[in-house]
Structures are given as C-alpha cells and as structure tokens.
Structure 1
Amino acid sequence: MSTHSTSSTHAAWTGMLPVDDTALAVSDTGGTGTPVVYLNGQFATQGYWRRVIAELGTEQWRHITFDERARGRKSQRSKDYSFEAAVRDVDAVLEARGVDRALVVGWSYGAFVAAHWASRNPERAIGAVLVDGAYPYDWLDDAMEERIRKLFRRMGWFTPLLRPTGVTPRMTAAEQAESNIELGKLSRERELGPVLDAVTVPTRFVVASGSSFGSKGDEQEQIRTSLQAVTARNPNITSTKVAANHGAILRKEFPTIAATVRDIAAQSQNQG
C-alpha cells in the first residue's frame, strides 16, 4: 500500500457530478491507493487514459477520471468553458470524491490545468506529471488567431455528426476556437513562466517529438525548447523526452507515463 493512501477504503463510483450550471461524467476506481486525477486534452475524453491506468493497476493507485464540460458522451453543456472553470472543476471533483491530496496527470490542455492546480495547491498536490503541454512560449499572434478560427470553422460542418460518439465536444466551432485562443494567451512566457516557477512539488514533463494536429513544420519542437529555461530555474521540475508525437503519446508511451507517475510519487514520499 502506498504511503500516500489513507487507511479507509473508498468505494468505486461512476456517475454524474453536478457542478455550476452543468454536470460532469466522473469515474473513481476507489480503494486505498494514492489518488491520481487525470486531466484530459482540450477536446479529448477520460478514455484516453485507459492504457496508463491499466499499466499502473489498482493495488497501489486510486484512479479518478472525468470528462470536462461538454466533452465525452455524457458531460453536459455550460455557459462557461473558460480555463478557470476547468481548474475549478478539478477541485469540485476531488471534493466530491473526498480526496484531500492527489497526484495530477495532464496531457496537452490538461497539462496546463495540472500545472496551474499544482502551483496553486502545494499542500494538496502530491506531484504532477505534465504530458506534452504547459510549455511557456509565445506562439499566439493575430495571424495564428485567424488560423485557429479558420480551422474550427472548416471542421464545423462534420464535427456535429460525431458528437453522439463522444469523439467531438458539444461546443460550437466558435467556442472551440476561443478556448484554443485562450490557451495561446495562457501559454505566453509572461503568463505561464511564473506559474511553473512557483511549483514546489515534484513535477516531470513527458515531452513528445515531432508535430501535432494543426502545427506546421518544426513549430511544436520550437515550443518545446522553452522547457529548458523552466527546468534550469526550478529544480522541482524535470523532463523526459519520448519518441511518439503529441497525438500518439498516450497510446504509444503509456509505460513511460506510468513509470513517471511512480517516480513522482516516490520522489514526493522521499521529500516528505
């Protein structure tokens, strides 16, 4: 049993959690292991984590996943798709599941949420694993904003057809574009740099290679270079580079991600 676990056993639970003007689909494997909360990509679902969860097992770990607002097959629409709402929802899920301290694992957009949550909650964060996201880099300009809006307008004719499957969110093309643009603003070095500098818990980036959906040329690799300054400034933050690209990293590198979760939990234990 992990030293981060509690003495009482928590029952497994899957259901809908009312939050603000919406409801989130939540799954909790229960047990007495270390709580790990998984934070999804911007328009992804909790199902993306299944390989990581299977690799870790449930003997020492309590896995908590949820679909963000209007994502997945069940989470409901909202009037608020802001980044701050996404961070608040982490607290809402943990409170509802009776979790005081957790290790946060986030991919892409979820890495930003995990970084902010860990930075703001040093007493509650066991540690953080940030999977190819939360790089402080000024990639958003006027031309990029227009490129993002054009991309989502172009996708807008077919994405509604996929909504019943949960593959695409129940958000309009404009809402998705604005969410992506907001992320670009949050990515700016002057915005994200101080957040990462303030992290005091063990944190490790799992860095992908190559391009991602919507990127051109070596844009993504250039963004990742910003991590060098982060790890130089903050000894609590380290990184591991893997071969898979952004979109395939959870599918192809799940053993590395699971191993990183174990390492961060052990590092936190040793510091405690």
Structure 2
Amino acid sequence: MTDNSNSSNGSRWTGMVPVEDTALAVTDTGGSGVAVVYLNGQFATQGYWRHVTADLGTTWRHITYDERARGRKSRRSADYSFEAAVRDVDAVLAARGVDRAIVVGWSYGAFVAAHWASRNPERAVGAIMVDGAQPYDWLTDDTEAGIRKSFRRMNLFMPLLRPTGLTPRMNAEEMANSNIELGKLARVRELGPVLDRITVPARYVVASGESFGSQGGHEQIRTSLPAVAERNPNIRISAKVPSNHGAILRKDFRAVAEAVREIAALDHSEH
C-alpha cells in the first residue's frame, strides 16, 4: 500500500489500496467522525462527491475511491463484475481500519450500497441510494444489442480521454458487459429480495428529471420505489429532487448530505 500522507494521527490520507489483482486509488479524510464511504457511478470517479463532502464538512470521515480501471490511477483488473465491486467495499474499509460505516452510492454505486448493506447489517450504519437500485425489468434483447452497439461506437474516441480519468481503462466489451450485468441485477426478481433483506436504516434520494437519451426511462423506473418502501419499514424515500440523474450530485447535493445526517442521527439515538 502506498501512502502519500501521515494517517497515524487521523489526518488526510491518499494512496493505493491493493485488492486482488489490482489496486484502487483511495482518499480518506481521517478523523474520529462517522465514517461515510462513497460508491461511484458505473464509470464515474470519486470527484463526483466533492459537493456532498463539502456540505457535510470536516466533522465526518469521508472515504472515496475509484473503482477498478476508473479515474486516473486505479489499475486494470481481470474482473469488473458487480461482485468484485461489492468485495472492494470490504477491502477499502479493511485497509483503512473502519469497522462500521454509512454507505452512500449513486447510480451503479447505489446497487453496490444496497447489496453491501443487506449482507453486512452489523457493519452498515445505514445506506443511502442516490437515484439507483430501483427494481425494474428494463433489460431486453434489443436493449442489450443497443448497449453493445453504443459502446463499440464510443470506443472510437474513449482512448483519447483515458489520460484525463474521464473514461475508464476498460474496452468496449468490458463496459458493455458491466452495463448489461447491471440490467440483470435491476430485475424485480433479483433486486427486490435484496432490498427486502435490508435491516438497517436506508434512504433514497431520487431525481425527477430525464437525462439526455433516456426517453422517459428513468422516471418509469422510479415508479417501483413506493412499493419497496411499503414492504420494508427500514427503507424510506427521503427526497425527490428537481435535477436529472446525471446532475443530482452537482445540483441537489444538499439532499444527499441531509440523508447522511439523518442516518447518522438515528445511529446515535440507538447508542
């Protein structure tokens, strides 16, 4: 593990955390506050969380990281599966010596947060899913074919952006497979039982606008959430905000930060 700052006194730490056949770029603000680990969108980076962490301030311990082959530094891997993403949460927390944490995930990261919280009730203070982890059968044969076609087209220019960290160091097939796997995980019969098993406080922050090219799909997918909350009293929709899926962490970060505060307050009241 490479260390670029002194973490022994609880100060900020940045470095690489070795995991299986790869290594992840991690930032840990340190300190004795409630630990919050942030889980990125499918091909996004830890920088997307800067507005949320700034709103919460320095009394919290913020842990962000770039997933395998994402960002500028996280290294490539032979395994970009969803299960690898869930394992990486454990690896990062173990490397940073964190026993319990609030998990906050946006989009793909919301699925990771939901799965991790459902499997680790003794370690999850709570979970916040930001416009993701909504059960809906959106993947069809035609959709899958369209995903593969889109990523093949994008592969023409993505290598030019990789040095900036704006696109992952994954090839078109790897990215398409990841997206298709997410569609399978989102199916009602797959995701519904995961959400039903969550026994810690969980909150959804939901966008309301449509993203470019979504053709009304996001709002249709969001209609599944009231039934989720009705079945499981631990789950609530804490806010529905005006921004769309892509802009929510930039424009409605205060709603995400408020959900973090709510979860932490519930944990404090129980202790």
Alignment of 1:148-187 (within 5 A): 148-187=147-186
Indicate conservation of the 8 Å contact 1:201/1:268, yes or no. no
Which residue of structure 1 lines up, in the alignment, with residue 210 of structure 2? Answer: 211
Structure 2 unaligned runs (5+)? 1-7
AA in 1 matched with 2:135: P
Q: In the aligned structure 2, how far is the partner of 1:194 from the partner of 1:204? A: 17
Q: Could you tell me how far 1:146 is from its partner in structure 2?
A: 0.6
Structure 1 unaligned runs (5+)? 1-7
Which residue of structure 2 lines up, in the alignment, with residue 125 of structure 1? Answer: 124
Q: In the aligned structure 2, how far is the partner of 1:19 from the partner of 1:114? A: 19
Q: Percent identity?
A: 74
Q: Could you tell me how far 1:213 is from its partner in structure 2?
A: 4.8
* 2:231 is the counterpart of 1:237: no
Q: In the aligned structure 2, how far is the partner of 1:28 from the partner of 1:213? A: 33
Q: In the aligned structure 1, how far is the partner of 2:223 from the partner of 2:269? A: 30
Q: Could you tell me how far 1:135 is from its partner in structure 2?
A: 0.3
Which residue of structure 1 lines up, in the alignment, with residue 83 of structure 2? Answer: 84
Length-normalised TM-score, structure 1: 0.95
Q: In the aligned structure 2, how far is the partner of 1:231 from the partner of 1:154? A: 39
Which residue of structure 2 lines up, in the alignment, with residue 116 of structure 1? Answer: 115
Q: Secondary structure at the match of 1:78?
A: coil
Which residue of structure 2 lines up, in the alignment, with residue 194 of structure 1? Answer: 193
Q: Secondary structure at the match of 1:242?
A: strand
- Cα RMSD, aligned residues only: 1.1
Shift in CA distance, 130/9, structure 1 to aligned 2, threshold 3 Å: farther
Q: In the aligned structure 2, how far is the partner of 1:47 from the partner of 1:262? A: 21
Q: Secondary structure at the match of 2:97?
A: coil
Which residue of structure 1 lines up, in the alignment, with residue 36 of structure 2? Answer: 36
**Residue by residue, what CA displacement relative to the aligned partner does 1:108-157 show, whole Å, maximum 9, x if unpaired?**
00000000000000000000111000001110010110111111111110
Q: Could you tell me how far 1:210 is from its partner in structure 2?
A: 2.3
Which residue of structure 2 lines up, in the alignment, with residue 267 of structure 1? Answer: 266
Q: Could you tell me how far 1:228 is from its partner in structure 2?
A: 1.2
Indicate conservation of the 8 Å contact 1:213/1:247, yes or no. no
Q: In the aligned structure 1, how far is the partner of 2:36 from the partner of 2:82? A: 21
Shift in CA distance, 188/208, structure 1 to aligned 2, threshold 3 Å: same
Which residue of structure 1 lines up, in the alignment, with residue 246 of structure 2? Answer: 247
Which residue of structure 2 lines up, in the alignment, with residue 3 of structure 1? Answer: none
Q: Secondary structure at the match of 1:244?
A: strand
Which residue of structure 2 lines up, in the alignment, with residue 97 of structure 1? Answer: 96
Q: In the aligned structure 2, how far is the partner of 1:9 from the partner of 1:99? A: 15
Which residue of structure 1 lines up, in the alignment, with residue 62 of structure 2? Answer: 63
Q: Secondary structure at the match of 1:243?
A: strand
Q: In the aligned structure 2, how far is the partner of 1:42 from the partner of 1:178? A: 12
Which residue of structure 2 lines up, in the alignment, with residue 222 of structure 1? Answer: 220
Q: Secondary structure at the match of 2:220?
A: helix
* 2:135 is the counterpart of 1:141: no
Q: Which runs of 4+ in 1 moved over 3 A?
A: none
Q: In the aligned structure 2, how far is the partner of 1:94 from the partner of 1:183? A: 24
Q: Could you tell me how far 1:264 is from its partner in structure 2?
A: 1.2
Q: Secondary structure at the match of 1:199?
A: coil
* Equivalenced residues, count: 263
Q: Secondary structure at the match of 2:243?
A: coil
